[in-house]
Copies of this chain bind each other. A is one copy, B any other.
Amino acid sequence: MPETKVKKTKDFNEWYNEIVELADLCDKRYPIKGMNVWRPYGWKLMTHVDQLIRDEMSLTNHQEVNFPLLIPESSFKKEEEHIEGFGSEVYWISHAGLNKLEERWLLRPTSETAMYPIFSIWIRSHADLPLKTFQIVNTFRYETKQTRAFIRVREIHFFEAHTCHVDFNDAEKQIQEDKEIAKRLFDKLSLPYILSKRPEWDKFAGAFYTISIDVLMPSFRTLQLGSIHQYKDNFSKPYNISYEGEDGKHNYCHQTTYGMSERILGALVGIHGDNKGLVMPPEVAPIQVVLIPIIFKGEEKNVLDACDDLSLKLSNECIKSFVDKRDITPGNKFYDWELKGVPLRVEIGPRDIKNNQIVIVRRDNSEKQSLAKDTAVNKIKEELNMISKSLYDTAKKLLNENIKRVNTVDEAKNIKGIVELPWCGIKDCALEIENIIDGNTLGEPIDDNECNNSCPVCNNPAKTWMRYAKSY
C-alpha cells in the first residue's frame, strides 16, 4: 500500500499537514490565512463528532439554542477581565454597505456577551433554574501565531454550553456532570486526556477557575481540546442575571461554561493516524465497515450479492457499512479506505463464498483473519470494540510513558512530554520553570495534587504539583 511521503515518527507536524490534505479533510488554499474550507469528508467527520456531543447534551437535559454571531461593542464591554482577555483578538464591523454603523459590532470569539443580556431576561425566578443551554457555531479569533488545520485557526467550529444555577454548589455539581460528559465522550473517541486546573494567570478571561482538557499528541506536545469554567457570579453581576428565590429575595446566578472545538478532529487525526492515513475510532467513523467484492469475470453476481447480504445484516445491527462497487481494482479500493480510516475492511471473493467465509482486515494493526459466514456479524461487532480499545490503549500508553512527576528542574529538562514539579503557589516560580524547561504551565492536576516537597525554584514548601509541557 502507498504511504505518506513524510513518516509520522520522523516529522509529526509535516506528516499531519500531509494527511489532512490527502484524506480530503480541508483545503488550506482559501485566500484568508487560518480560514480553511471544510471538504466533504472532513465535514462529515466533524458533524459525526458534533452528533456525539449532541447525544451527551440531550442525555444531560441541555437545550440547543443559536445566538447571533454579531455582538454590539457595548454588550461586549460589560465584564472588565473578559474585554481585557479578548479585546485584541476580535474582528470589528464598522460599516454596512456604505453606511457607518452607530455602534461597532464584533464577531463572537465566544458567546458570553451575546447570551447573558438575554439570559437576564429569561431568568426571573428559581423555577427557571438551572438553565442549561448549548450551541454549536462558528467563532472567530484573530490568531497571530502560525495557523494549523483544526488546531490553530481563525474561524473555529465551536461547541459551547452555558448554564445558570441558584448558587455556587449547584454550579459545582454542573462541573461534576461536565467531567462525566468528558469521560463518556473521549472514551468513545479513544482519546485519553488529563484534567488540569489552570493557574490564576492563565484562566479564561472572567472565570473564577478554569479546568482544561488536554491530550498528548505524538509530537509530545499537549493539545487543549476543551475547557470547563466556573464563573461564580463574575458575569451574572455585570449582566444582571438574577432570580427571585423561594424566600422572595433576589440573588445573582452562578454560571458555568463548557467549550470544545474542531481540535477534537485534530486529535483524532494526529493521535490515531498512521503512514497509511486516518484511523477512525468506530464510534465516529461515518463508515465502520467497508465491503470490497473481490471479483473475477463470471462470478460477479454471486460476490456482489454476498456483499449486499452482509451489509444488510450489519445495518440491522446498527453497524454502518458500505459496499464499494466502483469499477477500479480492489487494491485501489483498499488504499482509498485505508486513507479515510475505515476501521474494518471485509473482502469477499468467489473462494470465500465456496468456503462459507469472509476475510476481515483491521485498519489499526493490519491483522487479517477469515471468519465463518454464520458468525461473522457478531465477530465484526467484537472486532470493532477491540479496535476502539486498542486505539485507546495505544494512546494511553503514549500518555502514561510521557507524563512524569519529578522534583528538580534538571530532571524536568530531559522529559519530552508532560512534567509535574512541586509548586509553591508563586507565579514567578512557575514562570521561571517555564523558561528553563521551555514549556508552558498546564495547571494543577485535578486529583492527586497533594505535594509535600519543596518548590525547585524558591525552596519553600510546595502547595501542589504543577504540570508543564510544550503545547500547541
Residues of A bordering B, CB below 8 Å:
27, 29-32, 35-40, 43-44, 47, 63-70, 72, 74-75, 87-99, 105, 107, 114, 117-118, 121-122, 133, 138, 140, 142, 155, 157
Contacts and interface: CB of A to CB of B under 8 A. Distances in A.
B90 A65 contact: no
Nearest to A46: B66
Contacts of A96: 90-92, 142
A37 B121 CA distance: 12
A55 B317 CA distance: 22
A65, A66, A70, most chain B CB atoms within 10 A: A66
A68 B35 contact: yes
Nearest to A137: B138
A97 B93 contact: no
A72 to B, nearest CB: 5
23 contacts: A30-B67, A30-B114, A31-B72, A32-B105, A35-B69, A36-B68, A37-B65, A37-B66, A37-B68, A40-B64, A40-B65, A44-B64, A88-B97, A90-B96, A90-B97, A91-B93, A91-B96, A92-B94, A92-B95, A94-B94, A94-B95, A97-B142, A138-B138
Number of copies of this protein chain within its complex:
2
Nearest to A36: B68
Contacts of A97: 87-90, 142
Contacts of A67: 30, 37-38
A74 B31 CA distance: 10
A107 B105 CA distance: 12
B92 A30 contact: no
Contacts of A27: 118, 121-122
Contacts of A32: 68, 70, 72, 105
Contacts of A39: 65
Contacts of A121: 27, 29
A37 B122 CA distance: 12
A91 B95 contact: yes
Shortest beta-carbon contacts, A-B, top 8: A38-B66, A35-B68, A40-B63, A96-B142, A88-B97, A92-B95, A91-B93, A31-B72
Given A37-B68, A38-B65, A92-B95, 13 more contacts: A27-B118, A27-B121, A29-B118, A32-B70, A35-B68, A36-B68, A37-B118, A44-B64, A68-B155, A69-B69, A70-B155, A87-B97, A91-B95
Contacts of A65: 37-40, 43
B69 A138 contact: yes
A93 B90 CA distance: 11
A62 B105 CA distance: 35
